[in-house]
Chains A and B, each alone.
Chain A
Amino acid sequence: MINMHHDNGIWVSTEDLNREESFLQSAEKEFSVENMAETDGQWAASRRDFLKLMGFGLGAATLAASCEIPVKKAIPYVTKPDSIVPGVANYFASSFVNGSDYCSILVKTREGRPIKIEGNSLSSITAGGTSARAQAMVLSLYDTRRIQSAGTVENGAVSKLSWQDLDNKVKGQLQLGGNIRLITNTIISPTAKKALAEFTAKYPNTRVVSYDPVSSAALLAANEQCFGIRGIPSYKFGEADVILSFDADFLGTWVSPIEFARAYASKRKIKSVQGATMSRHYQVESHVSLSGSNADTRIQIKPSEMGAAICALHNEVAALTGGSSISGPALSDKAKAALKKAAADLVTARGKSLVVCGSNNVMEQVIVNKINDLLGNINTTIDFSVLNNTRQGDERDMARLIGEMNAGQVALAIVWGANPAYELPNADKFKEAFAKVNTRISFSGVMDETTALCSHAAPAHHQLEAWGDAEPKTGHYSLIQPTIAPLFDTRQAEHSLLEWAESANLNRDDEQPYYQYLKSHWANDLRAMQSKYNTGAAFWDMSLHDGVFENPAGPRTVAFNSGVSLNSAGVTQPASGAVEISFYETVNIGNGQYAHNPWLQEMPDPVNRTVWGNYLCVPIEWDGNKKMNGWMNLNDGDNVEVEVNGKKLTCTVVRTFGQAPGTVSIALGGGRESGGCGVGYGVNVNPWLPMEGGMIQYFAKAAKVEATGTVDKHFACVQHHHTMGLAATDAKGNTINADEQVLAYQGSLTDRSVIFQANLKELPKLAEKLAEFHQHSDHLNTQTLYQDNVEYFAAGVKWGMYVDLNSCIGCGACQVACVSENNVPVVGKKEVARHHEMTWLRIDRYFYGDLENPKVVYQPMMCQHCDNAPCENVCPVNATNHSMEGLNQMAYNRCIGTRYCANNCPYKVRRFNWLDYTTADTWPANEERLFRVDGADVPFYADNLVRMVMNPDVTVRSRGVIEKCSFCIQRIQEGKLTAKKENRAILDNDVRSACQTACPTGAIVFGNLNNPDSAVNKAAAGVGDLAYQVLEEINVRPGVKYSAKIHNS
């Protein structure tokens, strides 16, 4: 090396030139650490070192401080994969399966990252619709608390083991020959079942124990008794003219809500004013469920009166159809009269009516089956030829398992998908018994309550990383394909089972062994069911492309087993006096399965509009004069101590219109103890659930409620005001508008042009009234000094939206889709309590009608893109302005945050970044710390893992700027480019907003208002005068139209 100097003819000093010994020595050591003096382990810094370090330090600090944006690494592809074009999204058909939830989906990926869920319109079950839960699944992929490797579980943490070590350990245990139990929710995957069969064949002492997070065991048992089929039939809400539901929230959570919502809404859309028809919907319940809030008539009963109500309806129907009556428990006259009317309607629509029941009491379900039988609905609206497979669990099996475990008969337990230590009412007993099992293995991806009790964790992939399939309904197959390489060192659950079973069918040398296993099952077994594709490869490719393969069985008729006797002693007996409490599943949190998903936690409960936790709903009472009081004079946010079955919990109150008098209710799914960001929000009410005949009952007959005098400082409810003209009875017995009487509480003057509603019978009258209103508004809006600006938008494209309030069921899928599409930040409970929520699209909920039992209307509210926008002219810096296509645009970089636009927005849809919710800012001090990563509190979106969910087409907004709905301008842009590339005019299908594609009922239509044939124009024109703009008369000229809400009672 030294010689090289001379070879180059370069020398550095005379010593070098002379090749002096001292120089050679030092030159050799030039880059040695010894040059830095170290004495006694401490750096002895010379003056020069000090200056150097100072210089470096200053330089580094200056560099670090002056960089505006931290440099992120971006490594270009050496060889670009064919399937990935930077900037162009890829869509993969897959399925969302979790517990009892199923949705066929398309996963949108960008640069290899799944970022958005869309519905798959090829599925005949969900038909392109989604739910809030399905929309939010993509965020759980990037959960910072996922278990990152296999290992042993100690104190709620995983100490890593290699998969091979784990396999050896587990196999060793399996081969000992003790009893093996798999604890699962319902498994609807045919290939997983095949893998399970191999596992069971290898270890014959294996039994699978399934239960569902929310049980339908009684329904299954009753169907077995009545029809000889332990299964849930297909309910045809789209063919029913009269629907009566006993506490079954079929639009929100019961069995197959996406499918039901679509069918239900198809019978509720008003297509024209003349000759409009609608189905009629009765809901019998105590708390206001999503379905109940959409019902034409809600019949309020106490939860314990369910049996009595079912018997009463049976007898009324029997009287009209010639059946024999049964003696049921007593029921209030009011409910009886209402049921009598319902029975008449049901009988009139014989064969085209439908009675469903969410109760978990076998005899009640049997009687409901009998009612449907009397009505001739079996084999018409209730179809057993295609069964719904999503709920097959039975909690009685779990009780048996607990017994076995207690008796020390179980040597090894594998928990797969289920979380019994939280979900079961007798979780305490489960935990005690579970501890007696020698080896406890969990497939869970997060450290949930059950995994924390396990000895080994074998974390499965997230569904978006995994292969799989599902058969949600008989003959309806659905594929799950990975859309990203596994983020962590996880493994398919099925792969683990096959590995442990030492299956010969698992090709371990393959990169994705389970993929081959799944493919061979499809290419061989499923291909045989069809004749269109002859080769396995073709069939597989088609299935993978479509995501679904549907091969429904032919019609099957069943008959009600005449041997079944109706015994009213088996139904719930009414309790007297005490306050009753019911427990319900919300559309967002389920029974806690979704509690760790921030998007779902921050999605308001559709009915009581609360977020981040479960709240005790108490009824609202009218004092007959000037006040609406919460029950026991409780106020929103009051803490109360509630005692049920001797167990006390402190709950926060939310006053809820429509909650039956004498009852309270609270949602399931709160108070999670481990596993993610939902920990600490709400209370776990599962231990309160009573068991009857081994079946979980979702109500308790006696609850003691005591005020504590304390309040929840961060009571988070996004809507304080609830009503739009409630009717009540005054002291003299006259019906009055209660809203107008109430001073300072709700406010008066309820005749706002926000919501228009009427009974179906009065539809022409409403149309007349609205025509007058349109005329009046037109008159007002033309009294202006300024020229009309309409002609500016006459050419080219003008974007607009139509929202059918009659189809909107308030499920919130659109809201979560919007959050996902537009990188809307999550702000946390404390910030929502201060009304700092950031949602671009919210669903306003108003009550109208009878004060004690009101009707509900949901109104999705987003930026109305006004053509005469009040926000635009008040911005001093032109940060918000109007496009030639009628869009109200936000230039975030120009916004200085005066918030005048938000004040001046009549619809209050503008959202200000009060704090640095997205960590887009370069100042770390101002971030609201909501979530915990590696033991440190971090803001949402602060972690690089969570940031992977962001849509790269949408700017992440920094602190201090206003944001709002953009009509998904990134989608508009994409659509325009597509049309341009194809050299044609833009069509409806080129641009579909995120809320539109998420909606299961097609309530939202988006498109070009300048195209007379566009769907948005046709839909609005169809209902004629029923279509209106909110606040039409204030001349802001919104680009969104709504249709009036019609009820059929």
Chain B
Amino acid sequence: MSQPVSPVRHVLIEGNKTYHNISEDLCSPTEKAPSKEWIIAFTLSSALLGLYTFAVIWTIWKGIGEWGANRTINWAWDITNFVWWIGIGHAGTLISAILLLFRQRWRTGVNRAAEAMTIFAVMCAGQFPLIHMGRLWLAFFIFPFPNTRGPLWVNFNSPLLWDVFAISTYFSVSLLFWYTGLVPDLATVRDRAVGFRKKMYEKFSFGWTGSAKHWQRWESLSLILAGISTPLVLSVHTIVSFDFATSVIPGWHTTIFPPYFVAGAIFSGFAMVQTLMVITRKVLKLEDYITINHIDSMNKVIVLTGTIVGVAYLTELFIAWYSGYIYEQFAFYNRVFGVYWWSYFGMMFCNVVSPQLFWSRKIRRSIWWTFFLSIVVNIGMWFERFVIIATTLARDYLPSSWSYYSPTWVEISLFTGTIGLFFTLFLIFTRVAPVVAIAEVKAILKVAGDQFIGPNAKKAHEHASQSSEKQEKH
């Protein structure tokens, strides 16, 4: 290792990179023909997207009655999926904004992809509040705008309306933040491109020249957006939790929901980042940028948030008992031992027990364990939302109305379909924009003279591919 190495902190970028190497490595996926893996992945995910489109059209054409929801359990997979995707969409902003403010420089390796993930996840999440409506074509009723329908206005008391604002704000700020970060990198791609591509990237990079004034404004905007995003990380899922917390249904009506939902969201967001990064770094050969140290750090966040979530689950049970309120007690008794007991135990195992493995440094730094456990956590977080929504509704106040829910093929298609939507978008993203923030990574590259002179010196214009071949030989 030729870079200046601190005895305390490991380097953030491995592989003895030069600035040029970085440009080469990170721009090349947008320039090369797609790999076989990419084509297979894209085919699969766009097929799922096709299935999604079909299921959406089916739902709209035939009616919500094509789902398994019923008079008692009016929300089921639809809102479960919504909350799940929104939760996943939390890691991006957290990494970009909060970690930026905390000066966590390791975030540069993953922030771009995590932000992209956020945006795509929020797009997936946004599907469900729309398609779960009985009359989708009147969805514009939820926006407060001057209209000809007399004094009719939206209901500002409704958490669903707060959702509309929270999610649209979150989406627009995240999109802005993400794109702001992309501008200098798109300019880098532009500078390397020729012909039509050059023209396109010219447009997308807003004529970025890299002047000092540009950088100064760019830095200010990033900081301002980080400042705006930070409360959003906390507010979005808090407001999503209000969908439940402000109701009268025992099991929903709990004050613990806001912090519990936020922790759960970060938890599932990081898990999804791990799932994606483990694949991306392998497929796009970005192991030097998204290093095992990144994975390690993020696993630490997972074990922390997973434990917070676990404490929240236990607190809920304690408070239910302590409240002396029979409906609350029954709601939680039913969660654990009721008809959907398996989903509660699935949730407990996946979210609370499985992340504890990350206390072990060896597991934390294992690619395979990380990948496996990140999937487990994602499943667990889906179960959590299912437990909160379907289990609670299935057994509420009046026993006469108790019911059972199981999904139909339409709902299953909608869920798997949004996974298709998500991956289709993500795969397109990997082909059109640098997956790692080039400019920011360059800012944290530690450079010393021995890269240029002496035995460690590299020949000028060495190609990224060669350097990675070299890497593999080590």
Contact = CB atoms under 8 A, between A and B. Distances in A.
Given A749-B326, A845-B400, A959-B134, A903 B164 contact: no
B159 A874 contact: yes
Contact of B63 (A861, A874, A894, A915): A915
Contact of A907 (B61, B337, B397): B397
Interface in A827-864: 831, 834-837, 842, 844-846, 859, 861
Contacts of B395: 747
A861 B158 CA distance: 26
Contacts of A23: none
Interface string B126-138: 0001001111101
Given A861-B398, A900-B158, A1031-B397, A835 B71 contact: yes
A876 interface: yes
17 contacts: A724-B399, A747-B334, A748-B333, A749-B330, A752-B326, A834-B68, A837-B71, A861-B398, A877-B142, A877-B155, A897-B134, A900-B74, A900-B158, A900-B243, A906-B248, A923-B61, A926-B62
B132 A834 contact: no
Interface string B173-187: 000000000000000
B160 interface: yes
Given A836-B65, A899-B132, A959-B135, 17 more contacts: A721-B402, A747-B402, A749-B326, A835-B70, A836-B70, A837-B71, A875-B160, A878-B154, A897-B134, A898-B129, A904-B248, A904-B249, A906-B396, A906-B398, A926-B65, A959-B134, A962-B134
A903 B403 contact: no
Contact of B160 (A754, A837, A900, A911): A900
A897 B401 CA distance: 20
A1021 interface: no
A661 B397 CA distance: 32
Nearest to A746: B399
B385 to A, nearest CB: 14
Contacts of A859: 400
Contact of A719 (B64, B153, B400): B400
B135 A835 contact: no
B204 interface: no
B141 interface: yes
A283 B330 CA distance: 35
A904 B327 contact: no
A874 B136 CA distance: 18
B346 interface: no
Contacts of B416: none
B324 to A, nearest CB: 12
Interface string B246-258: 1111000000000
Contact of B338 (A744, A836, A898): A744
Interface of B: 61-66, 68-72, 74-75, 129, 132-136, 138-139, 141-142, 152-155, 157-161, 164, 243, 246-249, 326-327, 329-330, 333-334, 337-339, 341, 393, 395-404
B400 A899 contact: no
A743 B337 contact: yes
A912 B135 CA distance: 11
Interface of A: 719-721, 723-724, 743-744, 747-749, 751-752, 754, 831, 834-837, 842, 844-846, 859, 861, 870, 873-878, 894-900, 902-904, 906-908, 910-916, 923, 925-926, 928, 959-962, 1030-1031, 1034, 1036
B248 A861 contact: no
A29 to B, nearest CB: 50
A896 B133 contact: yes
B71 A907 contact: no
Given A720-B403, A896-B134, A961-B135, A754 B155 contact: no
B416 to A, nearest CB: 22
B398 to A, nearest CB: 6
Contacts of A842: 400
Contacts of B135: 895-897, 959-961
B410 to A, nearest CB: 12
Contacts of A744: 337-339, 341
A912 B69 CA distance: 10
A873 B396 contact: no
A296 to B, nearest CB: 23
A912 B334 contact: no
Contacts of B402: 720-721, 747
B333 A749 contact: yes
A807 B136 CA distance: 45
Nearest to B61: A925
A754 B326 CA distance: 13
Which 3 residue pairs spanning A and B have beta carbons closest together?
A897-B134, A960-B134, A914-B65
Contacts of A915: 62-63, 65-66
A743 B337 CA distance: 7
A747 B249 contact: no
B327 A903 contact: no
Nearest to A842: B400
A906 B397 contact: yes
B154 to A, nearest CB: 6
Given A836-B65, A876-B154, A877-B154, A913 B134 contact: yes
Contacts of B138: 896
B211 to A, nearest CB: 47
A749 B158 contact: no
Contacts of A895: 134-135
A878 B152 contact: yes
B186 to A, nearest CB: 38
A747 B331 CA distance: 10
A915 B65 CA distance: 5
B141 A907 contact: no
A747 B338 contact: yes
A902 B157 contact: no
Contacts of B329: 749
Nearest to A837: B71
A1034 B330 CA distance: 15
Contacts of B326: 749, 751-752
A842 B71 CA distance: 13
Nearest to A1034: B248
Contact of B400 (A721, A749, A836, A876): A721
Given A861-B398, A912-B134, A959-B134, A898 B160 contact: yes
Contacts of B155: 873, 875-878
B326 to A, nearest CB: 5
A959 B133 CA distance: 11
Contacts of B64: 897, 912, 914, 960
A720 B70 CA distance: 13
Contact of A897 (B133, B248, B330, B337): B133
Contact of A752 (B249, B393, B397): B397
Contacts of A754: 397-399
B267 to A, nearest CB: 25
Residue among A721, A895, A903, A1036 with the highest chain B CB neighbour number at 10 A: A903
A896 B330 contact: no
Contacts of A844: 398, 400-401
Contacts of B75: 899-900, 903
Contacts of B164: 876
A861 B164 CA distance: 34
B303 to A, nearest CB: 32
Nearest to B339: A744
A65 to B, nearest CB: 16
A385 B435 CA distance: 97
Contacts of B154: 876-878
Contacts of B133: 896-898, 960
Contact of A903 (B65, B161, B338, B393): B393
A859 B155 CA distance: 33
